[in-house]
């Protein structure tokens, strides 16, 4: 069994540290990701990022596998384009002072990972989070390798943790991120219509039990026999939904005040009452 390591990813840009903000605009993009159509998907993503930039959004989250969807038979080919895609997104981030996150295929040591990349507002890639939990019901484990590290970023927008889709069903991961002081967890997903109530409930639960913001992007459209409901959302530390998408392609955003994390934790100090002596630190 592989050991999962908790990895702290250090943010070291002094200029951005000095510009840390407690108030920001957090956006999510949802669209019908076309299997194998990398250029078309990138152009769609950039179009929605442009709309968010026009509203001075500080953070944008793209869906899971936004570049090619789960075109699993051609992942090596698609992964060779990942570097070029990230270069384009990094340039966009610099030009628009917008942090961008989303997952796409990454090849490393002859293995393919479903990797969520976080690009900060200076265009620098501050984290590569490789999906820890592979969804065996759709045979992800046959095409992808599982990661073995968590990701926490000290970004220009605060301390942020990363999760991908199926990870939502594992409260241990969100709790580990919370115990490392994250104020926000970003999630990208391809979560199906048939389990949309689980999506809705789990996001709110992760926000409430860890008293932090959840910024979550889910795709739309139909692929093979699966329909995807969108329902991307931003949820605050008390579980209130600040903004929620419908089932159409869109970009939406909400105003986020990170001071709400401290207020929620002071109002209901759950962490102070945890029984570490019974069930451990994490």
Catalytic residues: 64, 131, 165
* Residue (of 28, 46, 110, 73) closest to 224 by Cα position: 73
* Residue (of 147, 181, 127) closest to 5 by Cα position: 147
| Per-position pLDDT tens, the chain of length 282 | 444 444 433 333 333 333 456 899 999 999 999 999 999 999 999 999 999 999 999 999 999 999 999 999 999 999 999 999 999 999 999 999 999 999 999 999 999 999 999 999 999 999 999 999 999 999 999 999 999 999 999 999 999 999 999 999 999 999 999 999 999 999 999 999 999 999 999 999 999 999 999 999 999 999 999 999 999 999 999 999 999 999 999 999 999 999 999 999 999 999 999 998 998 876
* Contact (CB, 8 A) for 215 and 184: yes
Residue 29 CA to residue 46 CA, distance in Å, equals 10
Domain ranges within the chain, ordered by starting residue = 8-13+23-271
Residue carrying structure tokens 């809705």: 200
Residue 217 CA to residue 189 CA, distance in Å, equals 6
* Residue (of 163, 157, 203) closest to 21 by Cα position: 157
User: Tell me, which fold does domain 8-13+23-271 have in CATH?
Assistant: Nitrilase/N-carbamoyl-D-aminoacid amidohydrolase (3.60.110)
């Amino acid at each position: 069994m592989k050991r999962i390591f908790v990895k702290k990813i250090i943010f070291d840009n002094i200029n951005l540290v000095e510009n840390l903000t407690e108030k920001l605009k957090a956006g999510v993009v949802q669209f019908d990701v076309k299997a194998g159509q990398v250029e078309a998907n990138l152009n769609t993503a950039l179009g929605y990022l442009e709309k968010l930039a026009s509203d001075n959004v500080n953070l944008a989250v793209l869906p899971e596998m936004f570049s090619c969807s789960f075109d699993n038979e051609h992942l090596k080919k698609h992964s060779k384009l990942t570097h070029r895609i990230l270069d384009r997104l990094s340039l966009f981030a610099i030009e628009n002072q917008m942090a961008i996150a989303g997952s796409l295929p990454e090849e490393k040591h002859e293995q393919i990972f479903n990797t969520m990349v976080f690009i900060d507002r200076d265009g620098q890639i501050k984290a590569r989070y490789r999906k820890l939990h592979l969804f065996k019901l759709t045979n992800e484990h046959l095409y992808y390798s599982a990661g073995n590290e968590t990701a926490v970023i000290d970004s220009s927008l605060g301390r942020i943790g990363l999760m991908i889709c199926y990870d939502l069903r594992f409260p241990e991961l969100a709790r580990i991120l919370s115990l490392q002081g994250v104020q926000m967890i970003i999630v990208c997903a391809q979560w199906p219509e048939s389990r949309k109530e689980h999506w809705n409930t789990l996001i709110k639960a992760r926000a409430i039990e860890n008293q932090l913001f959840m910024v979550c992007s889910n795709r739309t459209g139909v692929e093979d026999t699966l329909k995807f409901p969108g329902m991307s959302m931003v949820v605050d530390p008390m579980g209130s939904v600040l903004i929620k998408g419908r089932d159409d392609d869109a970009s939406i955003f909400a105003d986020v005040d990170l001071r709400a994390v401290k207020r929620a934790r002071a109002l209901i100090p759950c962490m102070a009452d945890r029984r570490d002596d019974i069930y451990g630190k994490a």
